[in-house]
Amino acid sequence: MGSTTRTGAETRRSGLPPATEAGRRAADPPVEDRQAFVVPVAALRRQLGLRWERHCEGVLAELAVTGSEVPRGAAVAVDVVLEAVAGGVTVVGTVRAPWVGACRRCLSPVTGRLDVAVRELYAPGGDGDEIYPLEDEVVDLSLLARDAVVLELPPAPLCKPTCRGLCPECGANRNRESCRCQPARDLRWAALDVLRERPRPEGPI
């Protein structure tokens, strides 16, 4: 999947329902590495225009939408440049993560990788809507990473654009095998089907 830029309110959490493993996760919740995404910025903010490059990588739980999710235990990587600006810190860079799901047509497993470009502002008093909060001189990049990933996970992935899906009659995967099932008749055209099947009279009318 290609790179996508998200800014401001577009990178907020989607509120979409969790994927199919929600029950298992509730029973055995994964351990998050949120501390891996925490960057103290007190020294950075002492000089406007100062920039730091940072690479953060760790596990974030419950990164899922209806049709896909980041695999349990898979790392999310953040490569960004933090810059001190008046009133806060800007964060510009890329968030990367693998994802898995099921093809919406044939239900076969599908995998992919997200590469999401981000440009955000952290500032004291940020409400997490237009601006991320900057508290105790710390930038928590897990907030940015979570929003970027969840908004870019495909809700209805395809194994390939030409996927033929499953036969609605017998359930055969049409990408792998053929079947002899006939398309179901549309009852709205049943009368015309009867006329079409009648033998035609012989000779001149």
Task: Report if residue 167 sits inside a domain.
Answer: no
Cα separation, 127 vs 122, whole angstroms: 10
Q: Using alpha carbons, list the distances in angstroms from residue 145 to 63, 104, 108.
A: 10, 26, 28
DSSP state of 166: B
* 47 vs 15, higher pLDDT: 47
CA 167 to CA 165: how far, in whole Å? 7
pLDDT in tens, 114-155: 999 999 999 999 988 889 999 999 999 999 999 999 999 999
Q: What is the mean pLDDT of residues 6-31?
A: 47
Burial tier of 100 (Cβ tally within 10 Å: 0-12, 13-18, 19+) = middle
Q: Is 190 helix (H, G, I), strand (E, B) or coil?
A: helix
Residue 200 domain-assigned (yes or no)? no
Of the pLDDT bands very low, low, confident and very high (cuts 50, 70, 90), residue 193 is: low
d(CA 91, CA 118): 8
pTM to 2 decimal places: 0.73
Q: How confident is the model at residue 11 (pLDDT cuts 50, 70, 90)?
A: very low
Residue 108's pLDDT band (cuts 50, 70, 90): very high
Burial of 70 (0-12, 13-18, 19+ CB in 10 A): buried
d(CA 205, CA 202): 8
Q: Parallel, antiparallel, or unpaired: how do β-strands 51-59 and 132-133 relate?
A: unpaired
Classify residue 139: in a domain, yes or no: yes
Q: pLDDT band at residue 32, thresholds of 50, 70 and 90?
A: confident
Confidence of residue 7 (pLDDT cuts 50, 70, 90): very low
Any domain includes 158: no
pLDDT at position 195, please?
61
- 56 found inside a domain: yes
What is the pLDDT confidence band of residue 73, given thresholds at 50, 70 and 90?
very high
Q: Does residue 196 lie within any of the structural domains?
A: no
- Token pair 């398309």 in the structure block, residue: 183
Q: Supply the pLDDT for residue 31.
A: 73
More confident residue, 16 or 149: 149
For residue 84, the cross-strand partners are: 89
User: Are 61 and 29 a contacting pair, CB within 8 Å?
Assistant: yes
**Residue 62 placed within a domain:** yes
| pLDDT surpasses 60 at 14 | no
Q: Is residue 178 part of a domain?
A: no
Determine the structural domain holding residue 93 and report its residue range.
4-152
The total domain count for the chain is 1
Structure tokens at 205: 């009318």
pLDDT of residue 201: 63
pLDDT reported for residue 198: 61
**H or E segment to which residue 25 belongs:** helix 22-27
Question: How long, in residues, is the chain?
Answer: 205
Between β-strands 109-123 and 4-7, what pairing exists: parallel, antiparallel or unpaired? parallel
Indicate if the pLDDT at residue 50 is higher than 80: yes
